[in-house]
Amino acid sequence: MEKKVKRIALLSGGGDCPGLNAVIRTITKTAISKYGWEVIGYVYGYRGLYNNNYIELTEEKVESIYKEGGTILFSSNKDNLFDYLVDDGKGGKVKKDVSDVGVENLKKAGVDVLVVLGGDGTLTSARDFSRKGVNVIGVPKTMDNDLASTDVTYGFMSAMSVGTEFIDRLTTTAKSHHRVICCELMGRDAGWITLYAGLAGNAGVCLIPEIPFTIENVAKAIQKRDEAGLPYTVVAVAEGAKYADGTKVIGKIVEDSPDPIRLGGIAAKVADDLEKVIPNHEVRSVNPGHIIRGGDISAYDRILSIRYGVAAADLINEGKFGNVVTINGDKMGYTSLEEVIGAAKVGQQKHVDPQGELVKAAKAIGISFGDE
């Protein structure tokens, strides 16, 4: 490397995700104990970078956060310094590119490398800072597991495990009352959480974005279970699932967000529609929402977070800036920020294969996807 690294900075952006704290802990401990670097963390994502608001990260400060959900650095999914809302001097607001302020603050704080933990939006800004000459390392973050560049992201297994527990608990009450219960799970436009939780929890029906469904086919699957002596059904519904006619359910629009569409409410709609065609069942809907994001993280994600964190620190030491840590097969690696963001922009995210082995396995044991 041209310049010896003395101080690194971390920031987390976008939605919180199980495993963020574990990655922060690992990078901090590796940086200090293995490489002798100082570590700081900007709070509230890029907003903290803009306001030069950071905290010192020490081994003592991060030692006990390995199993905690959320992020001790807090997060924001609205603060893009390349399109940032600032005062216009006339009592109003206007969006401006204030990224130079962020670059200058990194210099003032003596930061040699910026490590960014985030998803598509957060890593897009990381790429743009890299283009401005900042030494950047990205660590991909999404519990949705939809990044094409890496096989699995930390947080996914934790979210899937909580989703499975919900389905397990709903099954006992559905069975007791011979009810149909629709459970809505997060994942945006990828069905990984719902598919895995549905399989692990033995849901009778899984509705995922990759396989459009009809209410008639879902009702047919419920009737088939009734006839097989299983007069109850849990329907696992991904928040981004869509009807065969393309209908999706949007919870609300957040105008000042880079990702303004908030999905939500499809389980309630499916329940209402089902109750009209299966009069012999009471139909309920449940939406655990952000519960699957919170709490302690799974043992698997604790280990995965250590692997991601150590790999990020090693990339810094090797001077391989402008890259994102990845895992492919059983090996840690990296991919350029340009490639990762480029793939995301053209919609090349990782989705469930409707003809894949997992879907076929689910169908083989009688789980319906509402497509036939």
Catalytic residues: 144
Residues found in the chain: 372
CA–CA separation, 271 and 280 (whole Å): 13
| Angle between helix 120-131 and 99-108 (nearest 10) | 70
* 62-65 contact pairs (CB < 8 A, 24+): 62/21, 62/24, 62/25, 62/28, 62/29, 63/25, 63/29, 65/21, 65/22, 65/24, 65/25
Contact criterion met (CB below 8 Å) for 313 and 27: yes
Rounded to the nearest 5 percent, the helix, strand and coil shares of the chain are 40, 20, 40
Helices (H) and strands (E) in the chain, counts: 12, 15
Tokens for 109, please give them.
């704080």
Amino acid at the residue 302? R
- CA separation (Å) from 98 to 44, 112, 255, 266? 16, 20, 20, 39
Tokens of 37: 């670097």
Is the CB of residue 200 less than 8 Å from the CB of residue 300?
Answer: no
